[in-house]
Amino acid sequence: MSLEKFFNPESVAIVGASQTKGKVGYEILTNMVKAGFKGEIFPVNHKAKTIENLTCYPNLEAIGQTPDLVIIIIPAKFVASIMQECVKLGVKSVIIITAGFKEIGKEGQKLEQQITQIAKHGGIRVIGPNCLGVIAPSSNLNASFAGDLPKKGTIGYLSQSGALLAALLDIANAHGIGFSKLVSIGNKADIDELDLIEAFGKDPDTKVIAGYLENITDGNSFVEEAEKISHSKPIILIKSGSTAAGAKAASSHTGSLAGAETAYEAVFERSGVIRCNSIREQFDYAQAFANQPLPAGNSVVVITNAGGPGIMAADAIEKEGLTFAKLTNETRKKLADGLPPAANIHNPIDVLGDALADKYEFALDVALDDPNVDAVLVLLTPQAMTEAVGTAEAMAKILSKKSQKPVFASFIGANQVADAIDVLRSSGIPQYDSPESAVKTIRTMVDYVKWRGRPKRVIKLFPVNRRKVETIVERHLRNNIREVGETESKEILGAYGFIRPEGSVVSTAEQAANVAQQLGFPVVMKIWSPDILHKSDVGGVKVGLKNAQDVMDAFDLMMYRIPKKMPEADILGVLVQEMCRKGKEVILGMHRDPHFGPLMMFGMGGTMVEVLKDVSFYPAPLTAEEARQMLVNTKTYKILQGVRGEKGVDIDAIAEGLQRLSQLVTEFPQIQELDINPYVIGPKGTAAIAVDARMSVEKV
């Protein structure tokens, strides 16, 4: 169902409109009037005849027609009866401003469930409850108790916090930032962030989608829809309230490292969502995306009237991974002909401290024509002869003729540049307090362009033995066994094409020696117990055992010491296993997030993974490129490539292992956590070995 009537209604009823200044019912009504709403406004209050010269009605039915939009501002216990009236009259769009619902506890939650059921039965879409309201500048609609109606713009904003939206609106009005729509979603009893992102995605008046969220209602749908919309419109979000997800204690390395914060970072990267850490940063990005074209590449030229800010910009460009544009010979010749002899005609272009507006205009005009330039950053410091306003006007003049490349400004100062900044903003030129903020915004736009240019996602499916995995998983679930032992975990991995070392579980020292001789020395021994997850912590792993006596001694030592350290553990024996050839140890893993599903993990393997935390996460299923990028995103990647003459390992084999694991956990949602640690990888052409593995399963 369309949300159009929330943003462009022809008639609005305000249930709970008040005559008393300072009350929410009065503020919303007066905001509607002040904004110049062109449609009909129907105040509903049985105690008043008129409010602000508008006829007041005792109830909705008395209006004599069905309003397009109903705003409810009465105490929570009476909201359900008003919702019933809305159903009876055929109202389809309702904003519930009233608080006192699920945010206050069980009683409030019951009330919220009641109004949600009424709305669903009556085909009503609801924003709220416990919200600030809705603002649509293009319709002169200020159905909120926030501040004044902002100027019309192309940013659509949604917020889970009404108070934050009010503060944001005040900042935006002070800086002349415009919006297409602003929505406070409150408790999200019906309409949530996904509904609004979809609506903004289809809205021709919205060019940029921005918002503040504390949680996401439907993780999988959000990722799917956000990824689709991000290809045409940037989504810029502040996400707060990051706490560890899941009630159960994690039993794997992956689970212990994959908190809610990690999940959001991973899914935002996958879906192209641009994440911000502050309102300031969000406005920095939004004003650029809303008013400037996207850069074709990452080459930046700086124009400045002072050396210091130019150097600051140069440092920032390098730190952010952008390219300092190399100007063509033709560009440098033009600059030399038009600028004073002392000016710097390379990058940064220094027009000198006494430069008037015409020198800035000339330099910007020439720089935009250079084919090596993708974006321009104009810096200005107010000196005695500086024409700040004139320079801003000159920039606007050039951009009215040449608008194919983005231009950014950093006029550094306060009172002396205030009027110039007003000119910049009114002309759609993003202004930043510092060169670093401007460069960070350019980098964000470049990253967004790269994301949009990704190849189409293609998921490779490997031939596997699903039946074998089904048998093992079903047996564990049937017997209420959550942890899958190492042997059976490796059987599952083997069914999905992983190579595992040979080995057997033994119960005596003599059996251990016999198995070791059959496997061939050296061998590895591991304590075998469903109650011991981290074997090395209790001395339960011995490597490089070279003869039968070493094996028997290691067996006896384990059986003597470990029961003393963990008397409650059920020790079933010892696993004797062939020792893998030397190679680099990495970890492949998965943790199933309750909102977003399986998150794949890659990092440095062995016992130090949780200490170093050099890991990367990405949501499954993985493409080959995504799997490889997971490796690139870690410091471990440089080691794997080979350092100081050391030969690198088979990167493609690791990426394939991640893809195979991704297929496994996608096809078996019962698998909750999984580690392959270590996954030993050698040079190209050698087989990767899943040396150790653990996983856990649950019914779904």
CATH number for the domain spanning 499: value is 3.30.1490.20
Contact 409, 378 (CB under 8 A): yes
Looking from the CA of 665 toward its CB, the CA atoms found within 13 Å total 30
Q: Reply yes or no on whether the pLDDT at 176 is more than 60.
A: yes
- 532: confidence class by pLDDT, cuts 50, 70, 90: confident
In angstroms, the CA 581 to CA 122 distance is: 68
Q: Residue 80's domain is classified under what CATH number?
A: 3.40.50.720
**Are 168 and 44 within one domain?**
yes
pLDDT, average across residues 602-628: 86
Distances (CA, A) of 475 to 107, 108, 590, 697: 43, 43, 21, 11
| pLDDT for the residue 309 | 94
pLDDT, average across residues 356-381: 97
Q: Which residue has the higher pLDDT, 661 or 105?
A: 661
| pLDDT for the residue 611 | 66
State the residue range of the domain holding 447. Answer: 293-452
In angstroms, the CA 663 to CA 498 distance is: 12
**Are 477 and 569 within one domain?**
yes
Q: Which two tokens stand for residue 685?
A: 């052409």
Q: Reply yes or no on whether the pLDDT at 254 is more than 60.
A: no
| pLDDT for the residue 361 | 96
Which parts of 496-598 fold into alpha helices (H)? 509-519, 548-565
pLDDT, average across residues 608-626: 86
**Are 525 and 418 within one domain?**
no
What is the model's pTM?
0.88
Cis peptide before 678 (omega within 30 of 0): yes
| pLDDT for the residue 501 | 86
Q: Whose structure tokens read 């019309």? A: 152
pLDDT, average across residues 642-660: 89
Domain boundary among 395, 426, 452: 452
Highest mean pLDDT among 46-50, 121-125, 502-506, 530-534: 121-125
Is beta strand 299-304 parallel, antiparallel or unpaired with respect to 375-380? Answer: parallel
Convert the pLDDT of each residue in 117-145 to its tens digit: 999 999 999 999 999 999 999 999 999 99
Is the residue at 590 inside a domain? yes
Q: Reply yes or no on whether the pLDDT at 287 is more than 80.
A: yes
Q: Residue 350's domain is classified under what CATH number?
A: 3.40.50.261
Q: How many C-beta neighbours within 10 Å does residue 427 have?
A: 18
Contact 290, 209 (CB under 8 A): no
Distances (CA, A) of 389 to 137, 152, 380: 29, 24, 11
**Are 422 and 307 within one domain?**
yes
What 3-state DSSP class applies to 439?
Answer: helix
| pLDDT for the residue 242 | 55
Q: Reply yes or no on whether the pLDDT at 689 is more than 50.
A: yes
Is the residue at 277 inside a domain? no
Q: Reply yes or no on whether the pLDDT at 253 is more than 60.
A: no
Domain count, the chain: 4
| pLDDT for the residue 243 | 47
| pLDDT for the residue 502 | 81
| pLDDT for the residue 248 | 43
In angstroms, the CA 529 to CA 227 distance is: 44
**Are 197 and 309 within one domain?**
no
What does the longest C-alpha to C-alpha distance in the chain come to?
100
| pLDDT for the residue 608 | 65
| pLDDT for the residue 610 | 65
pLDDT, average across residues 147-153: 92
**Are 9 and 132 within one domain?**
yes
Distances (CA, A) of 537 to 349, 526, 532, 607: 60, 12, 9, 9
Q: Reply yes or no on whether the pLDDT at 244 is more than 70.
A: no
Is the residue at 405 inside a domain? yes
| pLDDT for the residue 590 | 95
Domain boundary among 578, 606, 640: 578
- 536: confidence class by pLDDT, cuts 50, 70, 90: confident
Q: Reply yes or no on whether the pLDDT at 644 is more than 60.
A: yes
Q: Which residue has the higher pLDDT, 321 or 579?
A: 321
**Are 609 and 660 within one domain?**
yes
Domain boundary among 164, 183, 214: 214
**Are 567 and 592 within one domain?**
no
Convert the pLDDT of each residue in 544-561 to its tens digit: 899 999 999 999 999 999
